[in-house]
Structure formats: C-alpha cells, structure tokens
Amino acid sequence: MKVLANDGIAQSGIDALEAKGFEVITTTVAQNQLENYINTNNIDALLVRSATQVRAELIDACPSIKLIGRGGVGMDNIDVDYAREQGLHVINTPSASSHSVAELVFGHLFGMVRFLPDANRNMPLDGDSKFKELKKSYAKGKELKGKTIGVLGFGRIGQATAKVALGVGMKVIAFDPFIENATITLDFHDKQTIDFDIEMVSKEELLKQSDFITLHVPAQEEFVIGKPEYDLMKDGVGLVHAARGGVINEVELVNAIESGKVAYAAIDTFENEPTPAVQLLMNNRISLSPHIGAATTEAQDRIGTELASQIIDLLG
C-alpha cells in the first residue's frame, strides 16, 4: 500500500511503515495538483498536517483513498464527518505534541515577563551605545512563581500546560465546558508522582482572576476572546495564544495592548496564516512565533510513530 505524507513525516514513522511493507512517499504535492497525483499513483493513505486541505471534493475525486491522517491535534483542515460517512478512516495524534506546545507557551511566558523579545530586537541595534538605557527599560520584570494562570480549554494540551505551570510554582485555574472536575498527575524523572486537583471555574471567573491566560481550544465559528472578554480581564494581564487561528480577535488584542489592559501577549497561531496581520508583526509588545507549537524533534518522532501504528492496525 502507498502512503503519501504530503506535509512530511518523521523518519520514525517512515521506518515503522516500511518495515510492514508500506511504500511511503514524502513528495510535497501542491494543493491544486493533489487530486491528479493521488489518482495517478493510486495512493491508499494521505497524511497531512495543517498545510494541506482535505475537503469533500478531494475525497470524492480520489476513490483509492482509504485513510486520512493528521499529524497533530486539530483537524479543521479535513472534512472529517464527510470522510467517515464515505467509509474512510480518519486518524490524528492528539497527545503526541501536547508537552511541546506546553513548553512553547512557557517559552513565551518567560520571555514576555522579562521583556526578552523586545530586548533581543534592541540589543543588536543599541546594546553597545545605550546599554544603561536598555538595562533601565527592562528592569521591571516579573516572576511567574505565585501568579495565577488560567487555562482556557483543559484537554490534553491544556493539562500539559498546567503541569508545567505547577512545576514553576503557579496557581492553576481552568475552564472547559466539557470538564467539571480534573486531577492531573505530575511525573518526575525519579519515578515520583504527585496528583493535583485543578480548580475548575467559569469562563468569566477565569478571565477575572487570572494574571496570565493561555488558550487551548479548537477552532470555532466565533471568537473565544473578543472585546467583552478583554474587558473582563485584569489590567496588565498576560495572554498566550497557541491554539487555532481565529480563536482570538486580533484587532481587539492590539487595542487592549494599547490601552494597557493587556501588558503581555504572545501568538503562535494567526487568523490569516501564512500572512499574519502587519499590526501584530510590528508590535514590540507581542512575542511571536510562526505556528511551531508541535515543532520539536521529540514531538515529530512521537507523531510519526503514532501515525504509523494506527495505519498498520487499520490497513496492514
């Protein structure tokens, strides 16, 4: 059987599939050429990440496809229900990248509270001539320890983020419309474990109580964070968005930064990928990354292995 990993797959996944007799093709085929390529090469399984769209029209046009796989969590670029109605297997890897996203959230948080994104912009320009001025500018950093972090969306990634927060010494509160009670387990390198009961609160209470807010929700038709939500937040709040593009109102975020409501902001996923709004890119109070939450070697290895295992079970 032939597997087209159109957006790539880790070598761990290739090795596992080839060991079971699958042919793995890692050619990146342009969206407008995908139908022809799949049919010409009689592809059995199509693996994608966020770049490739798998809509009903493509599914109808490619009868050889038996399985569609998404390397990652969100599947908003796939017509999942339609594909399953047509008898196709649709798989993803919901837990493989959770910790990688959580670490990116804290990479942004640590950088934000110590002004590192702006310092890294200005030190190469003025570090030799305005060292004392820059030192004074960045002298009012904050610690994360002891602060309250609100986790908006408490699935696998939200829980992984909460574990890092607890390790840092933060108080964690969370909101998820589908979860009433939550206990998470911290695992340490020496095999010790500690269970923590997480305080689940309403969305409104989370917005009001949190010193920092991190979003881990799926794509939605409406903004999860818009002007009414910004208005409820503490003055000087920090916000990290590493969920799905379009979850937050980016225009209102800029307004909230300019008014002082939001003191720190970080964005990894954007409404208009791959061309984010210029007012976000040029704002020196926003910590930016180009949708790299799952982009660690370890996560990609786990994703590849997990996809391969599912494909072997379903098609092998």
Whether residue 266 contacts residue 287, with contact meaning beta carbons closer than 8 Å, is answered with: yes
User: What residues contact 111, with CB distance under 8 A and at least 6 apart?
Assistant: 117, 266, 287
CB-neighbour burial class of residue 120 (10 A; exposed 0-12, middle 13-18, buried 19+)? exposed
How many Cβ atoms from other residues are within 10 Å of residue 71's Cβ?
27
Token reading at 166: 């607890």
DSSP 195-235: EEEEEE--HHHHHHH-SEEEE-----SS-SB-HHHHHHSPT
Distance CA 131, CA 218 (A): 43
Whether residue 64 contacts residue 39, with contact meaning beta carbons closer than 8 Å, is answered with: yes
Residues noted as catalytic: 244, 273, 291
Phi/psi of residue 28, each to 5°?
Answer: -90, 110
Phi/psi of residue 208, each to 5°?
Answer: -75, -35
Q: Nearest-5° angle of CA 13, CA 16, CA 22? A: 95
